[in-house]
Amino acid sequence: MRDVVVIGAGMTKFGELWEKSIKDIFVEAALKAIDDAGVDHIDSMYVGAMSSGLFVGQEHLGAVMADYLGVTPIPATRVESACASGGASFRQAYLEVASGASEIVLAGGVEKMTDGADVTEALATAADQEYEVYQGITFPGLYAMIARAHMERYGTTREQLAAVAVKNHRNGAKNPNAQFRSEVTAEQVMKSTMVADPLRLLDCSPVSDGAAAVIVASMEVAKKLKKNPIRVIASSQASDTIALHSRRDITTLDSVVRAAQKAYKLADKKPSDINLVEVHDCFTIAEITATEDLGFFEKGTGGEAAEKGWTSIECKRIPVNTSGGLKSKGHPVGATGVAQIIELYEQLNGKAGARQVEGARIGMAQNMGGSGASCVIHILEAI
Protein backbone atom coordinates (compact mmCIF):
# COMPACT_ATOMS: atom_id res chain seq x y z
CA MET A 1 0.00 0.00 0.00
CA ARG A 2 1.33 3.45 -0.84
CA ASP A 3 1.22 6.67 1.18
CA VAL A 4 -2.14 8.44 1.26
CA VAL A 5 -2.69 12.04 2.32
CA VAL A 6 -5.51 14.49 2.90
CA ILE A 7 -4.99 17.69 0.89
CA GLY A 8 -8.23 19.62 1.29
CA ALA A 9 -11.37 19.87 3.39
CA GLY A 10 -14.72 21.62 3.43
CA MET A 11 -17.95 21.44 5.39
CA THR A 12 -21.23 23.23 5.89
CA LYS A 13 -22.28 24.59 9.22
CA PHE A 14 -24.12 21.85 11.15
CA GLY A 15 -27.63 22.59 12.44
CA GLU A 16 -31.15 23.05 11.16
CA LEU A 17 -30.58 23.98 7.50
CA TRP A 18 -34.22 24.14 6.40
CA GLU A 19 -33.60 26.51 3.50
CA LYS A 20 -31.21 24.10 1.75
CA SER A 21 -31.69 20.64 0.19
CA ILE A 22 -29.53 17.57 0.77
CA LYS A 23 -27.99 18.19 -2.67
CA ASP A 24 -27.24 21.85 -1.87
CA ILE A 25 -25.36 21.02 1.31
CA PHE A 26 -23.37 18.13 -0.14
CA VAL A 27 -22.30 20.21 -3.15
CA GLU A 28 -21.40 23.15 -0.88
CA ALA A 29 -19.07 20.97 1.22
CA ALA A 30 -17.60 19.17 -1.80
CA LEU A 31 -16.83 22.41 -3.69
CA LYS A 32 -15.16 23.88 -0.59
CA ALA A 33 -12.97 20.75 -0.29
CA ILE A 34 -12.05 20.77 -4.00
CA ASP A 35 -11.24 24.47 -3.82
CA ASP A 36 -9.18 24.01 -0.65
CA ALA A 37 -7.18 21.19 -2.26
CA GLY A 38 -6.62 23.20 -5.44
CA VAL A 39 -7.36 20.21 -7.71
CA ASP A 40 -8.99 20.56 -11.15
CA HIS A 41 -10.61 17.11 -11.15
CA ILE A 42 -11.41 14.10 -8.96
CA ASP A 43 -11.08 10.47 -10.11
CA SER A 44 -13.97 9.13 -8.04
CA MET A 45 -16.12 9.93 -5.02
CA TYR A 46 -17.86 8.37 -2.04
CA VAL A 47 -20.93 9.67 -0.22
CA GLY A 48 -21.47 8.50 3.36
CA ALA A 49 -25.17 8.61 4.31
CA MET A 50 -27.12 6.59 6.81
CA SER A 51 -30.73 6.86 5.82
CA SER A 52 -31.45 9.49 3.17
CA GLY A 53 -34.39 7.38 1.95
CA LEU A 54 -36.18 7.65 5.29
CA PHE A 55 -35.05 11.20 6.09
CA VAL A 56 -35.72 12.91 2.72
CA GLY A 57 -36.97 10.18 0.34
CA GLN A 58 -33.83 10.16 -1.77
CA GLU A 59 -31.64 7.09 -2.31
CA HIS A 60 -28.91 6.50 -4.93
CA LEU A 61 -26.86 9.31 -3.44
CA GLY A 62 -23.63 8.44 -5.26
CA ALA A 63 -25.11 9.27 -8.66
CA VAL A 64 -27.30 12.10 -7.33
CA MET A 65 -24.33 13.95 -5.86
CA ALA A 66 -22.02 13.28 -8.85
CA ASP A 67 -24.74 14.77 -11.07
CA TYR A 68 -25.28 17.90 -8.97
CA LEU A 69 -21.54 18.35 -8.44
CA GLY A 70 -21.10 18.19 -12.22
CA VAL A 71 -18.52 15.39 -12.18
CA THR A 72 -20.29 12.59 -14.09
CA PRO A 73 -19.17 10.10 -15.44
CA ILE A 74 -16.68 9.41 -12.61
CA PRO A 75 -17.46 6.44 -10.32
CA ALA A 76 -19.65 7.64 -7.42
CA THR A 77 -20.72 5.34 -4.62
CA ARG A 78 -22.83 5.74 -1.50
CA VAL A 79 -21.43 4.13 1.66
CA GLU A 80 -23.69 3.11 4.55
CA SER A 81 -22.62 1.98 7.98
CA ALA A 82 -25.24 3.70 10.16
CA CYS A 83 -23.64 6.59 12.12
CA ALA A 84 -20.21 5.36 10.95
CA SER A 85 -21.10 6.00 7.28
CA GLY A 86 -18.80 9.04 7.07
CA GLY A 87 -15.80 7.21 8.53
CA ALA A 88 -16.48 4.27 6.21
CA SER A 89 -16.68 6.67 3.23
CA PHE A 90 -13.27 8.10 4.14
CA ARG A 91 -11.87 4.57 4.54
CA GLN A 92 -13.07 3.60 1.03
CA ALA A 93 -11.38 6.67 -0.46
CA TYR A 94 -8.20 5.86 1.50
CA LEU A 95 -8.18 2.25 0.25
CA GLU A 96 -8.80 3.32 -3.34
CA VAL A 97 -5.81 5.67 -3.34
CA ALA A 98 -3.62 3.32 -1.26
CA SER A 99 -4.23 0.50 -3.76
CA GLY A 100 -3.07 2.69 -6.64
CA ALA A 101 -6.47 2.49 -8.38
CA SER A 102 -6.95 6.30 -8.19
CA GLU A 103 -4.90 9.43 -7.51
CA ILE A 104 -7.51 11.91 -6.23
CA VAL A 105 -10.72 10.82 -4.50
CA LEU A 106 -13.41 12.84 -2.73
CA ALA A 107 -14.68 11.34 0.54
CA GLY A 108 -17.90 12.99 1.62
CA GLY A 109 -20.75 12.50 4.04
CA VAL A 110 -24.18 14.06 4.37
CA GLU A 111 -27.45 13.81 6.25
CA LYS A 112 -30.57 15.93 6.28
CA MET A 113 -32.47 14.94 9.42
CA THR A 114 -34.72 17.90 10.22
CA ASP A 115 -37.03 17.87 7.20
CA GLY A 116 -39.94 16.20 8.98
CA ALA A 117 -39.15 12.47 9.10
CA ASP A 118 -39.64 10.51 12.32
CA VAL A 119 -35.97 10.74 13.29
CA THR A 120 -36.10 8.43 16.32
CA GLU A 121 -37.74 5.72 14.22
CA ALA A 122 -35.32 6.19 11.30
CA LEU A 123 -32.27 6.04 13.58
CA ALA A 124 -33.63 2.92 15.28
CA THR A 125 -33.38 1.04 11.98
CA ALA A 126 -29.66 0.73 12.80
CA ALA A 127 -30.48 -1.42 15.85
CA ASP A 128 -31.76 -5.02 15.91
CA GLN A 129 -35.35 -4.83 14.63
CA GLU A 130 -36.63 -8.09 16.13
CA TYR A 131 -34.98 -8.05 19.54
CA GLU A 132 -34.59 -4.34 20.27
CA VAL A 133 -36.77 -2.01 18.17
CA TYR A 134 -40.00 -4.09 18.25
CA GLN A 135 -39.70 -4.08 22.02
CA GLY A 136 -39.74 -0.27 22.01
CA ILE A 137 -36.07 0.52 22.52
CA THR A 138 -34.54 3.68 20.97
CA PHE A 139 -30.92 4.80 20.66
CA PRO A 140 -31.09 7.01 23.75
CA GLY A 141 -32.54 3.91 25.48
CA LEU A 142 -29.69 1.64 24.37
CA TYR A 143 -27.03 4.09 25.53
CA ALA A 144 -28.96 4.64 28.78
CA MET A 145 -28.56 0.91 29.48
CA ILE A 146 -24.82 1.17 28.79
CA ALA A 147 -24.62 4.21 31.10
CA ARG A 148 -26.55 2.48 33.89
CA ALA A 149 -24.33 -0.62 33.67
CA HIS A 150 -21.18 1.55 33.70
CA MET A 151 -22.44 3.45 36.74
CA GLU A 152 -23.24 0.25 38.61
CA ARG A 153 -20.01 -1.55 37.76
CA TYR A 154 -17.49 1.29 38.03
CA GLY A 155 -19.21 3.90 40.16
CA THR A 156 -19.43 6.39 37.30
CA THR A 157 -21.51 9.32 38.49
CA ARG A 158 -24.13 11.65 37.05
CA GLU A 159 -21.66 14.53 37.55
CA GLN A 160 -19.04 12.73 35.46
CA LEU A 161 -21.47 12.28 32.56
CA ALA A 162 -22.29 15.99 32.80
CA ALA A 163 -18.57 16.89 32.68
CA VAL A 164 -18.38 15.46 29.14
CA ALA A 165 -21.23 17.71 27.93
CA VAL A 166 -19.80 20.80 29.68
CA LYS A 167 -16.37 20.30 28.05
CA ASN A 168 -17.81 19.57 24.59
CA HIS A 169 -20.10 22.62 24.66
CA ARG A 170 -17.08 24.71 25.75
CA ASN A 171 -15.11 23.44 22.71
CA GLY A 172 -18.09 23.77 20.36
CA ALA A 173 -18.55 27.40 21.39
CA LYS A 174 -15.19 28.01 19.68
CA ASN A 175 -16.19 26.20 16.47
CA PRO A 176 -17.90 28.40 13.85
CA ASN A 177 -19.46 25.31 12.20
CA ALA A 178 -21.01 23.93 15.40
CA GLN A 179 -24.78 23.61 15.87
CA PHE A 180 -24.68 24.76 19.51
CA ARG A 181 -22.18 27.49 20.23
CA SER A 182 -23.28 28.01 23.82
CA GLU A 183 -21.57 26.85 26.98
CA VAL A 184 -23.56 24.88 29.57
CA THR A 185 -22.98 24.21 33.26
CA ALA A 186 -23.02 20.81 34.95
CA GLU A 187 -26.13 21.92 36.82
CA GLN A 188 -27.93 22.73 33.55
CA VAL A 189 -27.02 19.31 32.17
CA MET A 190 -28.26 17.52 35.28
CA LYS A 191 -31.51 19.52 35.35
CA SER A 192 -32.24 19.22 31.61
CA THR A 193 -35.25 17.19 30.46
CA MET A 194 -35.02 13.45 31.11
CA VAL A 195 -34.76 11.49 27.82
CA ALA A 196 -33.86 7.92 28.88
CA ASP A 197 -32.79 7.56 32.51
CA PRO A 198 -29.98 8.46 33.33
CA LEU A 199 -29.48 10.36 30.06
CA ARG A 200 -30.97 13.83 29.81
CA LEU A 201 -31.37 16.24 26.89
CA LEU A 202 -27.89 17.71 27.37
CA ASP A 203 -26.32 14.22 27.42
CA CYS A 204 -27.56 13.63 23.86
CA SER A 205 -26.20 14.62 20.48
CA PRO A 206 -28.84 16.60 18.60
CA VAL A 207 -30.75 16.00 15.39
CA SER A 208 -28.82 17.83 12.65
CA ASP A 209 -28.39 18.63 8.98
CA GLY A 210 -24.93 18.95 7.48
CA ALA A 211 -22.32 17.79 5.01
CA ALA A 212 -18.55 17.38 5.05
CA ALA A 213 -15.97 16.43 2.43
CA VAL A 214 -12.22 15.89 2.16
CA ILE A 215 -9.90 15.29 -0.77
CA VAL A 216 -7.73 12.20 -0.41
CA ALA A 217 -4.73 11.86 -2.73
CA SER A 218 -1.45 10.10 -3.34
CA MET A 219 1.74 11.69 -2.01
CA GLU A 220 2.87 12.27 -5.61
CA VAL A 221 -0.18 14.46 -6.28
CA ALA A 222 0.37 16.38 -3.03
CA LYS A 223 3.99 17.09 -3.97
CA LYS A 224 3.00 18.41 -7.40
CA LEU A 225 0.38 20.68 -5.83
CA LYS A 226 2.91 21.86 -3.21
CA LYS A 227 0.26 21.29 -0.52
CA ASN A 228 0.85 20.73 3.17
CA PRO A 229 -0.54 17.21 3.26
CA ILE A 230 -1.62 15.28 6.33
CA ARG A 231 -0.73 11.60 6.09
CA VAL A 232 -3.20 8.83 6.94
CA ILE A 233 -1.06 6.40 8.96
CA ALA A 234 -3.83 3.95 9.94
CA SER A 235 -7.30 2.99 8.75
CA SER A 236 -9.12 0.20 10.56
CA GLN A 237 -12.64 -1.08 10.99
CA ALA A 238 -14.36 -3.69 13.17
CA SER A 239 -17.84 -5.01 13.82
CA ASP A 240 -19.72 -6.52 16.78
CA THR A 241 -23.09 -8.09 17.48
CA ILE A 242 -25.91 -5.78 16.48
CA ALA A 243 -27.98 -6.28 19.67
CA LEU A 244 -26.68 -5.27 23.08
CA HIS A 245 -27.97 -8.46 24.75
CA SER A 246 -25.53 -10.58 22.70
CA ARG A 247 -22.47 -8.73 24.00
CA ARG A 248 -20.12 -10.29 26.54
CA ASP A 249 -20.07 -6.95 28.44
CA ILE A 250 -22.05 -3.85 27.49
CA THR A 251 -19.69 -1.45 29.28
CA THR A 252 -16.91 -2.23 26.77
CA LEU A 253 -17.50 -1.80 23.06
CA ASP A 254 -15.41 -4.59 21.53
CA SER A 255 -15.57 -3.14 18.00
CA VAL A 256 -13.81 -0.04 19.36
CA VAL A 257 -11.20 -2.11 21.21
CA ARG A 258 -10.46 -4.27 18.13
CA ALA A 259 -10.37 -1.42 15.62
CA ALA A 260 -8.09 0.54 17.99
CA GLN A 261 -5.67 -2.36 18.43
CA LYS A 262 -5.41 -2.72 14.66
CA ALA A 263 -4.98 1.04 14.13
CA TYR A 264 -2.19 1.35 16.71
CA LYS A 265 -0.43 -1.61 15.10
CA LEU A 266 -0.75 -0.21 11.56
CA ALA A 267 0.52 3.21 12.66
CA ASP A 268 3.14 1.77 15.01
CA LYS A 269 1.87 4.11 17.72
CA LYS A 270 0.47 3.80 21.23
CA PRO A 271 -2.22 5.84 23.01
CA SER A 272 0.40 8.13 24.59
CA ASP A 273 1.62 9.13 21.09
CA ILE A 274 -1.79 10.59 20.16
CA ASN A 275 -2.06 14.39 20.64
CA LEU A 276 -5.83 14.68 20.20
CA VAL A 277 -8.78 12.43 19.50
CA GLU A 278 -12.24 12.96 18.03
CA VAL A 279 -14.53 10.29 19.52
CA HIS A 280 -18.11 9.33 18.74
CA ASP A 281 -19.91 11.00 21.67
CA CYS A 282 -23.47 10.42 20.46
CA PHE A 283 -24.28 10.36 24.18
CA THR A 284 -22.01 11.47 27.05
CA ILE A 285 -21.50 7.85 28.17
CA ALA A 286 -20.18 7.00 24.68
CA GLU A 287 -17.27 9.42 25.13
CA ILE A 288 -16.45 7.87 28.50
CA THR A 289 -16.42 4.30 27.15
CA ALA A 290 -14.52 5.39 24.01
CA THR A 291 -11.68 7.02 25.95
CA GLU A 292 -11.33 3.76 27.92
CA ASP A 293 -11.72 1.38 24.96
CA LEU A 294 -9.19 3.38 22.89
CA GLY A 295 -6.67 2.89 25.71
CA PHE A 296 -6.39 6.49 26.95
CA PHE A 297 -7.68 5.63 30.43
CA GLU A 298 -8.05 2.39 32.38
CA LYS A 299 -11.42 0.65 32.14
CA GLY A 300 -13.87 2.27 34.52
CA THR A 301 -11.95 5.54 34.94
CA GLY A 302 -13.15 7.48 31.86
CA GLY A 303 -15.74 9.33 33.93
CA GLU A 304 -13.16 10.39 36.51
CA ALA A 305 -10.82 11.54 33.70
CA ALA A 306 -13.58 13.73 32.23
CA GLU A 307 -14.42 15.21 35.63
CA LYS A 308 -10.76 15.98 36.39
CA GLY A 309 -10.43 17.84 33.08
CA TRP A 310 -7.84 15.45 31.60
CA THR A 311 -9.72 15.49 28.27
CA SER A 312 -9.81 19.29 27.91
CA ILE A 313 -7.79 21.28 25.36
CA GLU A 314 -6.01 23.10 28.17
CA CYS A 315 -4.91 19.96 30.06
CA LYS A 316 -3.22 18.44 27.01
CA ARG A 317 -3.17 14.96 28.57
CA ILE A 318 -5.46 13.83 25.74
CA PRO A 319 -7.72 16.57 24.35
CA VAL A 320 -10.99 14.85 23.36
CA ASN A 321 -13.47 16.31 20.87
CA THR A 322 -11.83 19.69 20.37
CA SER A 323 -14.46 20.32 17.64
CA GLY A 324 -17.24 20.18 20.23
CA GLY A 325 -17.93 16.56 19.35
CA LEU A 326 -21.29 15.23 18.24
CA LYS A 327 -22.78 16.75 21.39
CA SER A 328 -22.16 20.38 20.50
CA LYS A 329 -20.96 20.46 16.89
CA GLY A 330 -24.00 18.37 15.88
CA HIS A 331 -24.53 14.90 14.46
CA PRO A 332 -25.85 14.76 10.88
CA VAL A 333 -25.11 11.06 11.02
CA GLY A 334 -23.65 10.40 7.54
CA ALA A 335 -21.42 13.50 7.73
CA THR A 336 -20.04 12.99 11.23
CA GLY A 337 -17.11 10.67 10.42
CA VAL A 338 -15.84 12.99 7.68
CA ALA A 339 -16.22 16.06 9.92
CA GLN A 340 -14.04 14.30 12.52
CA ILE A 341 -11.31 13.95 9.86
CA ILE A 342 -11.70 17.66 9.05
CA GLU A 343 -11.07 18.58 12.70
CA LEU A 344 -7.86 16.51 12.66
CA TYR A 345 -6.85 18.06 9.31
CA GLU A 346 -7.27 21.58 10.73
CA GLN A 347 -5.59 20.79 14.04
CA LEU A 348 -2.59 19.05 12.43
CA ASN A 349 -2.19 21.98 10.02
CA GLY A 350 -2.27 24.39 12.99
CA LYS A 351 -5.45 26.02 11.68
CA ALA A 352 -7.99 25.25 14.41
CA GLY A 353 -8.08 28.80 15.75
CA ALA A 354 -9.27 29.13 19.35
CA ARG A 355 -9.52 25.31 19.58
CA GLN A 356 -5.91 24.70 18.56
CA VAL A 357 -4.01 22.04 20.49
CA GLU A 358 -0.50 23.49 20.52
CA GLY A 359 2.08 21.39 18.72
CA ALA A 360 -0.44 18.71 17.65
CA ARG A 361 1.27 16.22 15.29
CA ILE A 362 -0.82 13.03 15.54
CA GLY A 363 -4.62 12.77 15.76
CA MET A 364 -7.14 9.94 15.94
CA ALA A 365 -10.79 9.76 14.82
CA GLN A 366 -13.21 7.12 16.15
CA ASN A 367 -16.57 6.88 14.37
CA MET A 368 -19.21 4.39 15.48
CA GLY A 369 -22.40 2.90 14.06
CA GLY A 370 -25.42 1.86 16.12
CA SER A 371 -24.68 0.95 19.72
CA GLY A 372 -21.14 -0.02 18.66
CA ALA A 373 -21.89 -2.74 16.10
CA SER A 374 -19.48 -1.02 13.75
CA CYS A 375 -16.48 1.17 14.38
CA VAL A 376 -14.05 2.91 12.02
CA ILE A 377 -10.78 4.39 13.28
CA HIS A 378 -8.21 6.57 11.52
CA ILE A 379 -4.90 7.98 12.67
CA LEU A 380 -3.48 11.00 10.85
CA GLU A 381 -0.03 12.55 11.15
CA ALA A 382 1.39 15.93 10.16
CA ILE A 383 4.41 15.51 7.87
Q: Kindly state the smallest distance separating residue 81's Cβ from ligand COA, in Å.
A: 12
- Choosing from 83, 204, 282, 375, the catalytic residue is 83
Indicate if 315 belongs to the active site.
Answer: no
- Choosing from 150, 169, 280, 331, the catalytic residue is 331
- Of 201 and 225, the one with the shorter C-beta distance to ligand COA is 201
Binding site for ligand COA (CB under 6 A): 83, 120, 123, 139-140, 180, 195, 201-202, 204-207, 282, 331
198 prior amide bond cis, ω within 30: yes
Q: Kindly state the smallest distance separating residue 207's Cβ from ligand COA, in Å.
A: 5
Q: Kindly state the smallest distance separating residue 27's Cβ from ligand COA, in Å.
A: 25
Q: Kindly state the smallest distance separating residue 143's Cβ from ligand COA, in Å.
A: 7
Indicate if 375 belongs to the active site.
Answer: no
- Of 235 and 371, the one with the shorter C-beta distance to ligand COA is 371
Residue 362 contacts residue 263 (beta carbons within 8 Å): no
- Of 169 and 231, the one with the shorter C-beta distance to ligand COA is 169
- Show which residues are catalytic: 83, 331
